[in-house]
Chains A and B, each alone.
Chain A
Amino acid sequence: MVRSLHVMIMYVLCHLGLIFFMFPADIIASTEQGHWFPILIGIIVHFVCLLTYMKGLSFFPTKDILSIFSKSKKGVTFLFFAPILLYLIMAIIITVRAYAEIVTLVFLSHTPLWTIILLLLSVSAYISYKGIEAILRAAFLLFILFFPILLFVLIMSFQNVDWRYAIPFDTDLGFISKPAYFESYFAFAGGFLFLGFVQPFFSYERKNVILSAIFLIPFFLFSVYIPILTLGQASASKAFLPFVLIVDSINIDWLMFDRVTMFFLLSLIAFIILYLSLSLWKAIRIINYYIPKSRPSYLLFGLSVAIFFVCFWIPDWKDVENILFMNSFLRSYVLIVVPLFIYYIGRRLKRKDTNETI
């Protein structure tokens, strides 16, 4: 089944959910001026990895990333998949915990954290239980419902912009050594892995995925630049969630709602729930591959409960940040090693095929 549009939308939504929260603060913390440069490097890395990954996958048009290795020994492939699995589970934990904290921070200040964690996890576990088909359909629906709102808020957030804050443009490479910069890759590395998992269920055209990645570039830029242009670097660096702060200070006389932040946040939370369900689904696929006898729904339930307790056990924000930083190593594995490896196997297979036909 060709479902390019669904895959495109899924790709966009996953990233949108991740972009507007921690990403701006990380970039602002990693450099003092010329923020376009770290963002650009991130985008280039993102594109290179995406292209390599998709090129590699295109050698196996009907297989997903797991069945590519079906001929190899399971022990060997486990070495390849264990870090991915670990990365996925850690990413889920970080996302659930961080967004639960953000929800309490912005609007549900009295509600206990565990209820929000429970809500995020249960909804996403339910969607992922229904399978990839349901996830992609839900993405389509959420896109129609929430994307216009998001776009409206984004356009409105230009209200207080002073373009001169973008200057000076010149920049240096000092950000490379900052931990915050590596944490910012969370927004880049989060989404693209799923392209390798959907293939037997859906096929998609590579060109379309690249289009949606291009579509995301302005969002990456504006999420950082709108806080900079409104507050200036010196003040924006003091903010924990710079973009949310800017959205909070939008003043629209003619709108009957006082705070547009609520709309903005709820649409992004919906996207995040989608991202979580997708990650859960991927993780279950990997686990199920190694424990084929167990039922996926039990695995899903077990994993969700485990994640719930881990999230509950993380006491404060500093620990979330530490885990996010520790996750950087796994993230670079997912971002660099996985696409390269898939590409390498694909090339080798192709060479073998051509040799055999000759």
Chain B
Amino acid sequence: MKLSNKNVIYLICSLLTMVLILSGCWDNKDINHRLLPVSIGVKKVDDQYLVILNIPVPIDGSMETKIVSAKAETVSKAVDTISRNMESDVDLLHVKLIFIEKETAEDGINDIIAGFMRSRDVSPKALVAICDEDLQEFFNNIKINAEKKGLSTYNYFEKNAGWNPDIALTRVWEVFRGIHSYTHDVAIPLIRSGKDTTMDQIGSAILKRGKMVEQISSNETLLYNVFKGESGNGKMEVMEHATVMLLGSKTDNIGRLVNNDAHMESLIKMRVVILETKGEPSLNLIKEEINTLISERYNKLFTKLQENEADVFGMGQFFRNQIPRDELKNWRSDYFKNMKININVKIDIQNEGYLKTT
């Protein structure tokens, strides 16, 4: 194609305009003028929110942690106050962890979660954890740990790093679902700062409709993860005669409605390997022991959940085809509370290591 002079002029003009547009420079803030917090802590003090941000700042090749806080009527206002007082702009785009203080969680976190869901910066896949000590102190300990011992908070929950099967992994969108859903509640990791480690996990908090109602242990959290289909891979169980390691697990559930009462049959299949034994127990004895241990633990957990009417396992999901939607609204109080559960555990011992077991 031959270009006339007029066309060349047009072309150059349009290309130059594109340079102006494509730079996108009107309100752009460069990366060195932004602060990207990795975790955010929220606590309710009277009618105000105390927001604490944990901001890693790279200085001379190493990471320093900056802890800043502000108090305001809403979370976003508090973040804005921090942003105003800092020399750079605070951008919540990379927040990975949200800590909420226990007392606040007991009051209900619906508004906080809704705020995070509504906001365009905080990703709905950020993790939520509940902090079982004073938030300010917790963040200060994190800072000390991070600077003196080089421990980071975020890797604690990463599946490909520090995560363990007895830590609940709950994301903002799951908490949001738990608030509105008729049949789903969530468990959230309950943590406090550790002496030698960044965090100590003490169990999980049970959230019912966005309110913390109960606390369960790490062992029980494992059951929660197993039930959710999250792998329990690598978790040890110590019993009287043997120590086994969990390799994999699967649950099959059948929900039936008999005379308007919910009945649940669940079959938990677990694959284990034997690590240590005491004395010379037979395979059957070991199986028997695991069986009792797991079913007892499950039953105890269920009783606890039923008392609180909090369905963290999403059991109601198995009754969706039997209970009409209008009645499903009251699933927690009408059905789940009096649900009969029959748990069967099936153990497969995959191998016994280099030594034989009789």
Give me the interface of A with B, judged by CB distance under 8 Å: 32-33, 105-107, 109-112, 115, 119, 160, 162, 164-165, 167-168, 230-232, 234-235, 238, 245, 248-251, 253, 258-259
Give the contacting residue for B321; candidates A106, A107, A168; CB below 8 A. Answer: A168
The reply to whether the CB of B248 lies closer than 8 angstroms to some CB of chain A is no
Q: Give Cα A36–Cα B124 distance, bound, in whole angstroms.
A: 27
Chain B: number of interface residues, binned into ranges: 20 to 34
Determine whether the beta carbon of A234 is less than 8 Å from that of B125.
no
User: Chain A contacts of B94 at CB under 8 A?
Assistant: 258
Determine whether the beta carbon of B181 is less than 8 Å from that of A249.
no
Give the contacting residue for B318; candidates A164, A234, A251, A259; CB below 8 A. Answer: A164
Q: Which of B40-48, B170-178, B302-310 contacts A (4 or more CB under 8 A)?
A: B170-178
User: Chain B contacts of A111 at CB under 8 A?
Assistant: 24, 26-27
User: Chain A contacts of B159 at CB under 8 A?
Assistant: 253
Determine whether the beta carbon of B21 is less than 8 Å from that of A232.
no
User: Chain B contacts of A32 at CB under 8 A?
Assistant: 325
Give me the interface of B with A, judged by CB distance under 8 Å: 21, 24, 26-27, 94, 117, 120-121, 123-125, 159-160, 171-173, 176-177, 179-184, 314, 317-318, 320-321, 324-325
Determine whether the beta carbon of B27 is less than 8 Å from that of A110.
yes
- Is chain A's interface secondary structure helix, strand, loop, or mixed overall? loop
A272 to chain B, nearest CB (A): 18
A100 to chain B, nearest CB (A): 15
Determine whether the beta carbon of A249 is less than 8 Å from that of B171.
yes
Give the contacting residue for B177; candidates A107, A115, A231; CB below 8 A. Answer: A231
Q: Give Cα A20–Cα B249 distance, bound, in whole angstroms.
A: 36
Given A168-B325, A231-B177, A253-B160: A245 in contact with B124 (beta carbons within 8 A): yes
Given A32-B325, A234-B181: A259 in contact with B317 (beta carbons within 8 A): no
Determine whether the beta carbon of A164 is less than 8 Å from that of B317.
yes
Most buried by B among A111, A230, A231: A231
Give the contacting residue for B317; candidates A33, A119, A165, A248; CB below 8 A. Answer: A165
Determine whether the beta carbon of B125 is less than 8 Å from that of A249.
yes
Determine whether the beta carbon of B180 is less than 8 Å from that of A162.
no
User: Chain A contacts of B177 at CB under 8 A?
Assistant: 230-232, 235
Given A33-B325, A111-B27, A234-B182: A249 in contact with B320 (beta carbons within 8 A): no
Determine whether the beta carbon of A251 is less than 8 Å from that of B125.
yes
Q: Give Cα A92–Cα B168 distance, bound, in whole angstroms.
A: 47
Q: Give Cα A232–Cα B317 distance, bound, in whole angstroms.
A: 10
Determine whether the beta carbon of A235 is less than 8 Å from that of B176.
yes
Q: Give Cα A167–Cα B319 distance, bound, in whole angstroms.
A: 9
Determine whether the beta carbon of A248 is less than 8 Å from that of B123.
yes
User: Chain B contacts of A248 at CB under 8 A?
Assistant: 123-125
Q: Give Cα A248–Cα B119 distance, bound, in whole angstroms.
A: 12
- Is chain B's interface secondary structure helix, strand, loop, or mixed overall? loop
User: Chain A contacts of B121 at CB under 8 A?
Assistant: 109
B228 to A, closest residue via Cβ: A162
Q: Give Cα A160–Cα B160 distance, bound, in whole angstroms.
A: 18
Determine whether the beta carbon of A162 is less than 8 Å from that of B124.
no
User: Chain A contacts of B117 at CB under 8 A?
Assistant: 245
User: Chain A contacts of B324 at CB under 8 A?
Assistant: 168
Q: Give Cα A258–Cα B320 distance, bound, in whole angstroms.
A: 34
Determine whether the beta carbon of B125 is less than 8 Å from that of A162.
no
Q: Give Cα A253–Cα B24 distance, bound, in whole angstroms.
A: 30
User: Chain A contacts of B321 at CB under 8 A?
Assistant: 167-168
User: Chain A contacts of B183 at CB under 8 A?
Assistant: 232
A252 to B, closest residue via Cβ: B125
User: Chain B contacts of A107 at CB under 8 A?
Assistant: 120
User: Chain B contacts of A164 at CB under 8 A?
Assistant: 317-318, 320
- Given A164-B320, A234-B182, 12 more A-B residue pairs with CB atoms under 8 Å apart are A112-B26, A115-B26, A167-B321, A168-B324, A231-B180, A232-B180, A234-B181, A238-B180, A248-B125, A249-B125, A251-B125, A253-B160
B183 to A, closest residue via Cβ: A232
A33 to chain B, nearest CB (A): 5
Question: What are 9 residue pairs bridging A and B, where the CB atoms are less than 8 Å apart in the complex?
Answer: A33-B325, A115-B26, A231-B176, A232-B181, A238-B180, A245-B117, A245-B173, A248-B125, A249-B124
B38 to chain A, nearest CB (A): 12
User: Chain B contacts of A234 at CB under 8 A?
Assistant: 180-182
Q: Lowest 5 CB-CB distances: which A-B pairs, in order?
A: A235-B180, A167-B320, A164-B317, A249-B124, A249-B173
A140 to chain B, nearest CB (A): 21
Determine whether the beta carbon of B173 is less than 8 Å from that of A231.
yes
Q: Give Cα A165–Cα B177 distance, bound, in whole angstroms.
A: 12
A261 to B, closest residue via Cβ: B123
Q: Give Cα A162–Cα B160 distance, bound, in whole angstroms.
A: 23
B90 to chain A, nearest CB (A): 14
Determine whether the beta carbon of A259 is less than 8 Å from that of B123.
yes
User: Chain B contacts of A253 at CB under 8 A?
Assistant: 159-160
Determine whether the beta carbon of B184 is less than 8 Å from that of A232.
yes
Determine whether the beta carbon of A235 is less than 8 Å from that of B181.
yes
B161 to A, closest residue via Cβ: A253
A110 to B, closest residue via Cβ: B27
Q: Give Cα A110–Cα B83 distance, bound, in whole angstroms.
A: 15
A38 to chain B, nearest CB (A): 16
B16 to chain A, nearest CB (A): 15
